[in-house]
Structure 1
Amino acid sequence: MAGGQGTRLGAAQPKALVALAGEPLLTHALRRATACPDVRHVVVVAPSGHLDEVRDIAQAHPRADDIDVVPGGATRTDSVAAGLRALHADDGVVLVHDAARCLAPAALYTRLVRAVRSGHPAVVPGVPVPDTIKAVDDAGRVLATPPRESLRAIQTPQAFLREVLEDAHRAAAGDRVRATDDAGLVERSGGHVLVVEGDPLALKITTSADLALAERLLEEQPYAAS
């Protein structure tokens, strides 16, 4: 998924095209995704106004023949649906990933694919939440304090059996409730989602501080990030 805007980064272009250590975030994301032996086909869902730029990045990749670029939709759900329509007939396990988490290592992809192949139809990576979390109402009053031990911050890529994700998208067609991730669609359609260990490198780059942190991670452990 390469359609996110770079507004909070102060960028005048989509986030996936913002430079990290001299290369677009999308280039980093493609490098790490294709380093996983299980990833045989990549569909990049791009903003319709930047298709040529995204295609140039894809064509510069050593495995350009395995990468397709398609225009995204008005919402994240629409964009994922566009990516699903571009899958090959034999793409049985689908990984949905945000280019903003461009340092997610190949080992994380492998862990997710293995979990799906071991019998879990929907698998997401998660990391423990270090802060105390409060549920509040519209006025800011605390409603509950969920136990921190049961909470996970969810990352991408997220992995699914293809038919499970396609069924979840069909069930959500016309649904006005906004889904922030595809696992949420599977949950709403009655499916079960497994959380496996995430990775600190799969941080989401949203602000300039996140970009600076990603730069430092690349400097400190360039090979661990690939």
Structure 2
Amino acid sequence: MTPSGPSDSPAASVRTRPGHSDPSAPLRCAAVIPAAGRGVRLGPGAPKALRALGGTPMLVHAVRALARARAVSLVVVVGPPGEAAQVRTLLDDHLEHLADDSTEVVVVSGGDTRQDSVRLGLAALPEDVGVVLVHDAARPLVPVDTVEAVAAAVRAGAPAVVPALPVTDTVKQVEPGGEPGGPEPVVATPERAALRAVQTPQGFDRRVLTEAHEKVPAAGEGATDDAGMVERLGVEVVLVPGHEEAFKVTRPLDMVLAEAVLARRRATDAF
């Protein structure tokens, strides 16, 4: 493992790939993983990305999934504000045996909102990165094939790509407002066939995503979906098939499901 820099360095490199500076090489693909959220819906305890899944923090699972993709040569982890050194130490302790130890992993401090954190992750990317994947740390079990499919679609010319699944439940649109937990009047029932549930990693031409973060203002807690920001620029977003195992771990029941998926992988795939 490449030695880490001093603990007060703004960006801590965990692992490096040789030859990044070759000017004749094609533009690289990098992944940004915002991991600064607290995850209050999971209950009290460590930040969501640091909760253990199968004895290993969810963030580590997410980093491994992105780092194992052949398309990805750099992973930027955006930790809680002021905690880059602690997150770097955590990754140092768990990433000894990446499938591809030529992947570079860098840690930077995040901001108060997800939008701030993604912006800071983008700012940490070197100039030779042209394709950016943004992935939720709370989707620790995304299959490598899904990562590769998103990156390939961007490299093929799509400015913004999102993995998604058909919606299986009937969805109701309600009138906002009212008492929390109280009755909500239904105003419409969208056609289910036209709906998709989106996942991550979401892939972008770097210039498009950078422009979105420069021009789309933060409101409230900021944007929760980078593709939605790109849509507001009038740029087309396309979908590729997602995967059921790329679900987001948000509530305690999701942790139970994630543990079951991980146990099955370990039993059948030597994961």
* Superposition TM-score, scaled by structure 2 size: 0.78
Instruction: Give, in whole Å, the separation in 1 of the partners of 2:44 and 2:226.
Output: 26
1:176 aligns to 2:188 (yes or no): no
CA spacing shift, 1:118–1:37, aligned 2, 3 Å: same
Unaligned runs of 5+ in 1: none
Instruction: Give, in whole Å, the separation in 2 of the partners of 1:80 and 1:188.
Output: 17
1:42 aligns to 2:75 (yes or no): yes
1:83 aligns to 2:130 (yes or no): no
Contact 2:81 2:112 in 1 (8 A): no
Of structures 1 and 2, the larger Rg is shown by 2
Match of 1:128 in 2: 166
Q: 1:137 aligns with which of 167, 172, 175?
A: 175
Instruction: Give, in whole Å, the separation in 2 of the partners of 1:149 and 1:225.
Output: 37
Q: Aligned runs of 1:1-226 on 2, under 5 Å?
A: 1-60=34-93, 61-62=95-96, 63=101, 66-138=104-176, 140-172=184-216, 174-176=217-219, 178-222=222-266
Instruction: Give, in whole Å, the separation in 1 of the partners of 2:133 and 2:205.
Output: 9
Contact 1:36 1:110 in 2 (8 A): yes
Question: What amino acid maps onto 1:26 in structure 2?
Answer: L
Question: What amino acid maps onto 2:159 in structure 1?
Answer: P
Contact 1:29 1:99 in 2 (8 A): yes
Q: CA deviation at 1:8?
A: 1.9
- Give the SS at the match of 2:72: coil
- Give the SS at the match of 2:147: helix
* Superposition TM-score, scaled by structure 1 size: 0.93
Question: What amino acid maps onto 2:35 in structure 1?
Answer: A
Contact 1:58 1:64 in 2 (8 A): no
CA spacing shift, 1:225–1:200, aligned 2, 3 Å: farther
CA spacing shift, 1:133–1:110, aligned 2, 3 Å: same
- Give the SS at the match of 2:223: coil
Instruction: Give, in whole Å, the separation in 1 of the partners of 2:270 and 2:231.
Output: 31
CA spacing shift, 1:151–1:225, aligned 2, 3 Å: farther
Instruction: Give, in whole Å, the separation in 1 of the partners of 2:75 and 2:263.
Output: 27
Residues matched between the structures, number: 225
Contact 1:9 1:208 in 2 (8 A): yes
CA spacing shift, 1:225–1:150, aligned 2, 3 Å: farther
CA spacing shift, 1:176–1:10, aligned 2, 3 Å: closer
Instruction: Give, in whole Å, the separation in 1 of the partners of 2:237 and 2:199.
Output: 13
Unaligned runs of 5+ in 2: 1-33, 179-183
Higher helix share: 1
- Give the SS at the match of 1:99: coil
Give the aligned CA root-mean-square deviation in angstroms.
1.8
- Percent identity of equivalent pairs: 48
